[in-house]
């Protein structure tokens, strides 16, 4: 599925704007603060009804506006699709897919799958294991939507077991009620571990290939590190039972897949601790590209990939390799201050969008959101208001 166009109304810096994307690589250029990331975020918001940048979604509504509205058009073998996302802070979002009101855009078939690289996503390599677990579980859900519920079931059982541990500590419940919850937790836990392991097994070869292709030198490895080695629900339940005393002491469950991790290694050492910033960035990009290919294999179409300011910390060789990869298949959008930072950016298969005026200044409201496509001539774009 190819995303063909996006109309923005009162989204971040954009009062009203219309953007057409190319079927392959699209490069968005503009000076610092021009609104490049805002546009990338708008694409993500229109595809998912969520921000990839903030959990405080009221931030996306343009200063002084009451609500924002995005309209996205895409095409696949079945024809043209339309998605609209309306958002007024404090109210439920209004979502439509191909004209019908929906609660959720997932599974509507009216928008492409999308993955995003923002500079602060480096946290996925550098930050706490919880981020990597959550990411891995999202990949599991994207590969096999029917398995998305396993993580929710596990989390619910974990919360119940932790509540029970507190009650036992407070003398309001007996230890005799624990085995039933251990069995429940272990049942979902083993399923969750199996999905995570299967996903990392699929990603591992592609990850290594992309890491090397992008120029992350040395032997690289993506590794799933489960906390438990149990192969069956009974074995995991037994492990939980063995640790009851320490769990009761702490007041929460200290063992199980909620303590798993995913590690990025190079030459046997963790990129998180020993990699340079550029190497960590390449590791993350290799992961996103590997996921994109696996999703393409599973669903027959590569997800749209959005890359914000990815060029700034890559040297010329690695920039060239990344752009070659992106131009080879699927749809990608990349932001950068200068088109010259994208080797091959002037080739005819690359679509160039220059943000001519994303300045937030009241006297320039009429020209806010002017997005020109093609040559960087100021005023080429039209304010769609």
Ligand X SMILES: Nc1ncnc2c1ncn2[C@@H]1O[C@H](COP(=O)(O)OP(=O)(O)OP(=O)(O)O)[C@@H](O)[C@H]1O
Chain-centroid distance, C-alpha 39 = 16
CA atoms of 6 and 2, how far apart (whole Å): 12
Nearer to ligand X, 156 or 360 (CB): 360
Nearer to ligand X, 59 or 315 (CB): 59
Is position 34 annotated in a ligand binding site? yes
User: Which residues are registered as beta bridge partners of 9?
Assistant: 16, 69
Helices (H) and strands (E) in the chain, counts: 10, 15
CA atoms of 122 and 144, how far apart (whole Å): 25
Closest CA to 46 of 2, 107, 3: 3
DSSP reduced 3-state for 371: strand
Is position 56 annotated in a ligand binding site? no
Nearer to ligand X, 37 or 150 (CB): 37
Q: Shortest Cβ distance from residue 326 to ligand X (Å)?
A: 19
Residues that bind ligand X (CB under 6 A): 12-13, 30, 32-38, 59, 61-63, 309, 337, 360
Q: Shortest Cβ distance from residue 135 to ligand X (Å)?
A: 23
CA atoms of 78 and 109, how far apart (whole Å): 10
Is position 65 annotated in a ligand binding site? no
Nearer to ligand X, 58 or 328 (CB): 58
Is position 213 annotated in a ligand binding site? no
Nearer to ligand X, 87 or 207 (CB): 87
Is position 336 annotated in a ligand binding site? no
User: How long, in residues, is the chain?
Assistant: 385
Is position 31 annotated in a ligand binding site? yes
Nearer to ligand X, 32 or 146 (CB): 32
Q: Shortest Cβ distance from residue 269 to ligand X (Å)?
A: 31
Q: Shortest Cβ distance from residue 242 to ligand X (Å)?
A: 51
Q: Shortest Cβ distance from residue 358 to ligand X (Å)?
A: 6
Report whether 373 contacts 18 (CB < 8 A): no
Q: Shortest Cβ distance from residue 307 to ligand X (Å)?
A: 12
Q: Which residues of 314-327 are buried (b: 16+ CB within 10 A; e: fewer)?
A: beeebbebbbebbe
Q: Shortest Cβ distance from residue 15 to ligand X (Å)?
A: 9
Question: What are the residues whose beta carbons fall under 8 Å from the beta carbon of 157, sequence distance 6 or more?
Answer: 181, 184, 185, 188
DSSP reduced 3-state for 155: helix
Q: Shortest Cβ distance from residue 368 to ligand X (Å)?
A: 9
CA atoms of 226 and 190, how far apart (whole Å): 10
Question: What are the residues whose beta carbons fall under 8 Å from the beta carbon of 121, sequence distance 6 or more?
Answer: 284
Is position 30 annotated in a ligand binding site? yes
Report whether 71 contacts 95 (CB < 8 A): no
CA atoms of 84 and 27, how far apart (whole Å): 24
Nearer to ligand X, 32 or 273 (CB): 32
CA atoms of 124 and 140, how far apart (whole Å): 16
Residue 257: DSSP 8-state: G
Is position 318 annotated in a ligand binding site? no
Annotated binding site for ATP, which residues?
30-37
């Amino acid at each position: 599925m190819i995303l063909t166009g996006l109309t923005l109304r009162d989204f971040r810096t954009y009062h009203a704007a219309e953007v057409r994307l190319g079927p392959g690589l699209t490069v968005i250029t503009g000076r610092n603060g021009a609104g490049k990331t805002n546009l990338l975020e708008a694409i993500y918001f229109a595809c998912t009804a969520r921000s990839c940048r903030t959990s405080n979604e009221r931030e996306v509504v343009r200063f002084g506006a009451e609500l924002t509205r995005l309209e996205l058009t895409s095409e696949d073998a079945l024809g043209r699709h339309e998605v609209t996302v309306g958002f007024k802070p404090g109210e439920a979002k209004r979502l439509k897919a191909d004209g019908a009101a929906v609660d959720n855009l997932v599974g509507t078939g009216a928008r492409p799958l999308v993955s995003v690289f923002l500079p602060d996503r480096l946290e996925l390599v550098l930050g706490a294991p919880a981020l990597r677990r959550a990411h891995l579980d999202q990949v599991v859900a994207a590969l096999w939507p029917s398995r998305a519920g396993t993580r929710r079931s596990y989390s619910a059982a974990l919360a119940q077991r932790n509540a029970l541990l507190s009650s036992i500590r407070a003398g309001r419940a007996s230890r005799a009620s624990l085995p039933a919850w251990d069995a429940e937790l272990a049942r979902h836990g083993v399923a969750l571990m199996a999905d995570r392991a299967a996903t990392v097994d699929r990603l591992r070869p592609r990850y290594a290939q992309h890491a090397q292709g992008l120029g992350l030198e040395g032997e690289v490895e993506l590794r799933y590190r489960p906390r438990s080695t149990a192969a069956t629900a009974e074995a995991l339940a037994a492990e939980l039972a063995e640790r009851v005393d320490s769990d009761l002491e702490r007041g929460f469950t200290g063992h199980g897949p909620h303590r798993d991790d995913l590690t990025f290694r190079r030459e046997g050492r963790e990129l998180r601790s020993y990699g340079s910033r550029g190497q960590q960035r390449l590791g993350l990009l290799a992961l996103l590209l590997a996921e994109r290919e696996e999703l393409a294999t599973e669903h027959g179409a590569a997800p749209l990939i959005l890359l914000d300011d990815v060029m700034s910390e890559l040297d010329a060789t690695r920039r060239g390799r990344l752009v070659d990869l992106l131009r080879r298949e699927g749809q990608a959008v990349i932001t950068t201050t200068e088109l010259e930072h994208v080797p091959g950016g002037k080739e005819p298969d690359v679509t160039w969008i220059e943000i001519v005026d994303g300045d937030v200044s009241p006297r320039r409201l009429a020209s806010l959101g002017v997005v020109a496509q093609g040559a960087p001539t100021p005023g080429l774009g039209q304010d769609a208001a």
